[in-house]
Structure 1
């Protein structure tokens, strides 16, 4: 599948008013999000050498880290952990009620000090568990988070212009993402066993946040995106580009004008595939509801109720694992 390609150059630096290059890019972004919900993002200012190092170190962890280290990083329930952050073994993560053929480590934004715990069982309030193998990986992951937060902020600027939001709506969108409750996953995908014709590396789903920035091994045909007519199309990687897709919260904000697209992973090649998806999310306590400009453009009636993003996230996390 040949996804549209969007260059982020015009939005890397904020401007007091839209430039011709920004307007052109915003138009292309709007069409990509309406037609596909996915696009390749280039010229994002993150060096290819950095991204390549992150992927190679991630693969090194999954393929060479001792079992004892993985066990020490394991996602655990309270009081030993926060039941969200940490390592998951093959088959522990579930999508659509089925086990995924992947292993992973999940990281979240540290719990904001100004917010009370979201639940009584310490969910999401623990520390991130960073790997020690290889020695440079934890440092790369922390830098990757910082770089992706900058990238997400630039994308929000582009999204606001693509949606033709009012100044007040634009300010509201920036405020709702100013302390993004980001999520980062390190995922390792062994090839699916030949006998697992009915299983998936990651089952069909939509992402439940705002914007997903996918960095993955350049393995063709592993990521499959469902087109608007329901057919499944494989995505061809573009060197140095992120695959970006919109999530359920952006669909809600646009009143369904932009749809969160169903996708899945089926890795049947001979190599070991890794990915480091970064989920640029709203603030934990952000109220997400259809924007008036989008409501007016989609029939004048809000199709989605308002939700607090954190409550939405907590509900999703509770269905993510086999314990």
Structure 2
């Protein structure tokens, strides 16, 4: 079920967990437990998302970033908001480590939760804060449809991964179901433009950081300058995957939920080498999975004991996210 690849990231086939027997599901769950303890990064195959869904989301994203800057900026994220467009230099990701950094060499487009009902959970001021209306660029034909389908597909994969996580952590398979059925997840496209001039000192396409939520799913181009994951000894391992696979990593919230038994690992996106030929443009699509904003998060009993007491006080998914975002704003004023 798993195999080694040059990037040193374990590859796990999700299909036996979803479609297989109980023994197969337990074996997959055990693989996730090992990987999440050791490195916190996994390459996921057998996820069931059609390649045409992935390609349509990439194609429409690239078309958006090909629009002229004035048009892109018409879809800018509102002050204090996160949906919409953010241009080059809008953020430096070291803020997730409570550090200042030089601006990252990327631009982004973000859409929050797609499917929302008229329940007060979605329509209340708190609900609207975490789930604002999506902003769809009308200049790109099929953008809204492609992103909606991609969001829903990624949400289904994340749900199955959370079920695998539950089994990995000696919990009932559906333990997380009622904590993620109204998740405040988002999809983000990241465009790393061709670099024709040298970066500033210590400036990267994305500075070293960890992610906020429960898990992250990444679909990326194979282009010069790319994702690197920090090993336990502090060195960096490059990640390269086929276009039909997703890179999955544990987020800060899941590390906290597991009392740090699982790792939220630092990662970064490097600049292309100086001798790279042709275009060095690179694009990624990221699904940041974040549980329901009122989901309670306390260290799980299976991750605590007399010699391993809880390290974290009770919080909620929304409170944790708000804390992280507030720090980001304070460090990027």
- The question of a shared fold, defined as TM-score above 0.5 by the shorter chain, is answered with yes
For structure 1, the 5+ residue unaligned runs are none
Task: Tell me which residue corresponds to 1:73.
Answer: 75
TM-score after normalising by structure 2: 0.85
| Counterpart-to-counterpart distance in 1, 2:131 and 2:254 | 25
Query: Does 2:155 align with 1:149?
Result: yes
| Counterpart-to-counterpart distance in 1, 2:232 and 2:141 | 44
Query: Does 2:89 align with 1:91?
Result: yes
| Counterpart-to-counterpart distance in 1, 2:224 and 2:296 | 38
| Counterpart-to-counterpart distance in 1, 2:218 and 2:174 | 26
Query: Does 2:315 align with 1:315?
Result: no
Task: Tell me which residue corresponds to 1:273.
Answer: 282
Answer whether contact 1:190 1:273 (CA < 8 A) is retained.
Answer: yes
| Counterpart-to-counterpart distance in 2, 1:264 and 1:191 | 17
Answer whether contact 1:178 1:283 (CA < 8 A) is retained.
Answer: yes
Answer whether contact 2:221 2:243 (CA < 8 A) is retained.
Answer: no
Task: Tell me which residue corresponds to 1:228.
Answer: 232
1:236-266 deviation digits (Å, cap 9, x = unpaired): 2233100000001111111111010010111
Task: Tell me which residue corresponds to 2:16.
Answer: 10
Task: Tell me which residue corresponds to 2:213.
Answer: 209
TM-score after normalising by structure 1: 0.88
Answer whether contact 2:189 2:285 (CA < 8 A) is retained.
Answer: yes
Q: 1:285: Cα distance to partner?
A: 1.1
For structure 2, the 5+ residue unaligned runs are 1-6, 95-99
Number of corresponding residues:
309
1:168-191 deviation digits (Å, cap 9, x = unpaired): xx5442221121111111110014
For residue 316 of structure 1, give the secondary structure of its aligned residue in structure 2: helix
Q: 1:125: Cα distance to partner?
A: 5.4
For residue 215 of structure 1, give the secondary structure of its aligned residue in structure 2: strand
For residue 178 of structure 2, give the secondary structure of its aligned residue in structure 1: helix
Q: 1:319: Cα distance to partner?
A: 4.2
Query: Does 2:47 align with 1:44?
Result: yes
| Counterpart-to-counterpart distance in 1, 2:17 and 2:142 | 31
Query: Does 2:304 align with 1:295?
Result: yes
| Counterpart-to-counterpart distance in 1, 2:310 and 2:210 | 21
